[in-house]
Chain A
Amino acid sequence: MTALIEVKNLTIKFRTDEGLVTAVDDVSFSLNKGEVMGLVGESGSGKSVTAKALMHLNARNAVYSPESRITLHTEAGPVEVLKLKSARDLKVVRGGAISMIFQEPMASFAPAITIGNQMIEQLMLHSDMSKKRAREISVEMLDRVGISDPARRVDQYAFELSGGMRQRAMIAMALSTRPKLLIADEPTTALDVTIQAQVIDLMKDLVSEFHMGIVFITHDLGVIAQTADKVSVMYLGRLIEEGPVREVIRNPKHPYTQGLLAALPKLDDLEAPLTPVAGDIPSPLERPSGCVFHTRCPKMLGDVCKTRLPEHVPVDPTHRVACHLHHAEVPA
């Protein structure tokens, strides 16, 4: 297995009127070819900012720490994403080797340009193919994602398609350049549950066909269980637990992951009471010291959690957790 993208010590702060706000704090992970990684977290956890960093897409007021490194392995050799400056160099991570699907497909298509012309434009931007060939590929891709009558649809505008259809078109567009890495930011959140099931099936088929890596961002652990190979859980900008999907969902180690799973209403036990994670997510302006979760943690140990940042410790070779509860279990 070869790594496709490696993220090391990624720290992102935003310059705001209230001062520097930390959005992502010392996050490291890597993703192999053909692997699907679920990035789970609630609003404000930094999952979208992390994903955007992979394409160097964060707004101008974003400040990356000097230690932050994102390395993308392409056929032409490794690329340091954060060192890319000019628009021409950035093309490799923006639509070239990396594509992104957004949450709201209506907002992601230009309203006054046909779906087809948008697909053709990006194909021609990233390759030297003719307009005719680009159009053929666009129609093929629309057909591939299950849009009926693609030759007609290609000349339609985004508003003429239904929600599920738009998200399919979005996927077709993202995949037409044959990216090595696909970033899907809450791709099914705005869809109805029956349409969500269709889109999830489609994405699973496409992974096996195109053999690309996917970073799947969602707050829905059910969607993660259905799609991902491994999961990373984020809270207030920190990666607090990561491991294979079965491990993390069946055997969560971090109190936050455990709390998230307990808060989900389950259909197989209607009598089970709903247990919320106590308290509210702190404002990013008031980041707790020590472990960022200690203000809401039901298993807080005391001063150690309030003052010391927990290191990542392995509970088994693939499953790691950042929590003081698990430090004692590891021999020094």
Chain B
Amino acid sequence: MSETLIKARNLSVGFRIGSGFFGKSILKAVDHVSVDIEKGSFFGLVGESGSGKTTLGRALLKAVPITGGTAHYMDGEVDYDLTTLAGAELKDYRKRAQLIFQDPYAALSPRMTVRDIIAEPLEVMGLTKTREETDARVREIAAKCRLNLEHLRRFPHAFSGGQRQRISIARALVSGPQFIVADESVAALDVSIQADVLNLLKQIQRDLKITFLFISHDLSVVAHTCDHVAVMYLGRLVESAPTRQLFAAPRHPYTKALFSAIPSLDPDDRGRAQKLQGEIPSPTNQPSGCKFHTRCPYAIDRCKKDEPELVNPGDGHEVACHRWAELLAEETA
């Protein structure tokens, strides 16, 4: 059995919005999500805008307050309860868990050299005692991200998108984290560069045994990099399975629709896709029952009333749909 690094149970994140006549309303960005992230894995989280994937990632980094449920971080050395973590322990968690942002153009200060950008976390967290020690650590990490000494002296504006993303990665790695949340880290990059950054992240995962939560809207990228994929829709986890299993036989109608919406590279394979009608509903006005029922081609009355739980039928391929088994039987029949 492999170890679990992150264990979340019924994790919820709500934001208070507005101050209406009848008091404040709550926007549920993440709604009762239970998830286990194995140590050393590359865990993918997919969903459309507004599905809550970024908020879930931030909640696990304790960058937004958790409003319900539990979440634990266990790396063998420490066992932190993320809902109550504070003070010195929270500071220590910041070293162990890091974030790589989406936009490498906005994430780096234009007025700092690359060396200073990478060294900043070390200095802020007091991880190194002397300047020599800092420099040695920066050089070591920079080399892992294929940045040379010449690069360290320059400012971010002198770099292309791919190089900037490598700088962001180096900055995230410098404190020696065990857990990294990569939020749409290749979405802003060109295709020819994207593969390069993905390969670098995979290499870091293997060499440094770091656990990644890889948040993306791009299913083909996730399919190629992740070991396990979870699909979110309106704050709920609707399906979660090992990558190969998920892509071979998706169980949730939403996952199926997502797959079929990917434009095929075959010019003769036009328009056969099963198209989803409508758009993701506003999170302030969520549908009752199964949140996907307003767009689901297979919705029945029950779906409008009861919210399906995420269940594991025993093969590790979890799904939250009342009709998945029935639909699977129809498909194979």
Contact = CB atoms under 8 A, between A and B. Distances in A.
A165 interface: yes
Interface in B214-260: 217-221, 223-224, 243-244, 247, 257-260
B204 interface: no
B300 interface: no
B90 interface: no
Interface in A239-288: 245-246, 249, 259-261, 263-267, 270, 272-277, 280-281, 283
Contacts of B268: 246
A280 B193 CA distance: 7
Contact of A201 (B48, B192, B217, B275): B275
Interface centre among B161, B195, B261, B263 (most CB of A within 10 A): B263
B271 interface: yes
15 contacts: A42-B191, A43-B190, A194-B279, A195-B279, A220-B263, A221-B191, A226-B271, A263-B191, A264-B191, A264-B265, A266-B265, A270-B223, A270-B247, A272-B224, A281-B190
Interface centre among B160, B162, B198, B258 (most CB of A within 10 A): B160
Nearest to A262: B195
B261 A276 contact: no
Interface string B145-170: 00000000000000011110000000
Q: Interface extent on B, as a size class?
A: 35 or more
Contacts of B218: 265
Contact of B217 (A192, A267, A274, A277): A192
B326 interface: no
A196 interface: yes
B191 A222 contact: no
B252 to A, nearest CB: 14
A200 interface: yes
Nearest to A296: B192
A43 B262 CA distance: 22
Interface of B: 48-49, 160-163, 190-196, 198-199, 217-221, 223-224, 243-244, 247, 257-268, 270-271, 273, 275-277, 279-280
A271 to B, nearest CB: 9
A220 B191 CA distance: 8
Given A265-B221, A267-B219, A281-B193, 5 more contacts: A43-B190, A196-B263, A197-B260, A259-B192, A274-B224
A5 B51 CA distance: 43
B121 to A, nearest CB: 25
A313 interface: no
Contacts of B279: 162-165, 194-195
